[in-house]
Chain A
Amino acid sequence: QAVVTQEPSLTVSPGGTVTLTCGSSTGAVTSGHYPYWFQQKPGQAPRTLIHDTSNKQSWTPARFSGSLLGGKAALTLSGAQPADEADYYCLLSYGGAWVFGGGTKVTVL
């Protein structure tokens, strides 16, 4: 089974920009992996921020954006706010099976 890798933790200053990445052990991440990004806060269920690489939900703040970058899926947070402190997970499709990354803990400090 494929392994999906994310940075374990990242720190960003309030108002700053940070990019989270999501890599695959099978090679480059492409649009065919239909990358998702989820945000999870303590004690809460995850919620979808981005689906299919770059598509936002109605509840996704404009400061979040998704893309493919250097063979990985990427989630960029521009203008970080204290409310963005959370765990972020990516999810990739492998032809009928889906695999989560290990998650990135984002600290806004």
Chain B
Amino acid sequence: QMQLQESGPGLVTPSETLSLTCTVSGGSIYSGTYFWTWIRQPPGKGLEWIGYIYYTGSTDYNPSLKSRVTMSVDTSKNQFSLNLSSVTAADTAVYYCASQIGYSYSWGPFDSWGQGTLVTVSS
């Protein structure tokens, strides 16, 4: 069973960049099966899809966040990362990394999730 673990600062200053890393264990980030995904959840609110990155570096982002989001993969460390720039209090949320299975013409489950990490944007 693959395991994912988020890491990064729990407090970010407004207007700065939020940076999180997800470390994958029990599986390879090189796997062509998975789309490495970030999802967030503001306290007491619903889920929001941020985007995903494929091992090739190909990405898709939420259009509402696209201008501020950058994702990357580090195959040497079996990690993928999220950068969200120009943050405001509205970006305060629990951030989850997850692995979404993708097939040639369909999609499979999100079969592994990190435990989530709370990032607070405040001065």
- CB–CB A45/B47 < 8 A: no
Q: A45-B96, A100-B49 are in contact. Are A52 and B113 (CB under 8 A)?
A: no
Q: Is B110 an interface residue (CB 8 A)?
A: yes
Query: A residues within 8 A CB of B60?
Result: 96-97
Partner of A93, one of B107, B114, B116: B107
Name B's interface SS: strand
Query: A residues within 8 A CB of B39?
Result: 46, 100
Query: B residues within 8 A CB of A89?
Result: 46-47
- CB–CB B49/A51 < 8 A: no
- CB–CB B109/A48 < 8 A: yes
- The contact size tier of chain A is 20 to 34
- CB–CB B62/A45 < 8 A: no
- CB–CB B111/A48 < 8 A: yes
List residues 7-49 of chain A with CB under 8 A from any CB of chain B. 34, 36, 38, 40, 45-48
- CB–CB B46/A52 < 8 A: no
Query: B residues within 8 A CB of A45?
Result: 96, 98, 113-116
List residues 86-109 of chain A with CB under 8 A from any CB of chain B. 89, 91, 93, 96-103
A-B contact pairs, 14 of them (CB 8 A): A1-B62, A36-B107, A36-B109, A45-B96, A46-B39, A48-B111, A52-B106, A52-B108, A96-B60, A97-B49, A99-B49, A100-B48, A102-B46, A103-B47
Chain A contact residues, CB within 8 Å of chain B: 1, 34, 36, 38, 40, 45-48, 51-52, 55, 57, 89, 91, 93, 96-103
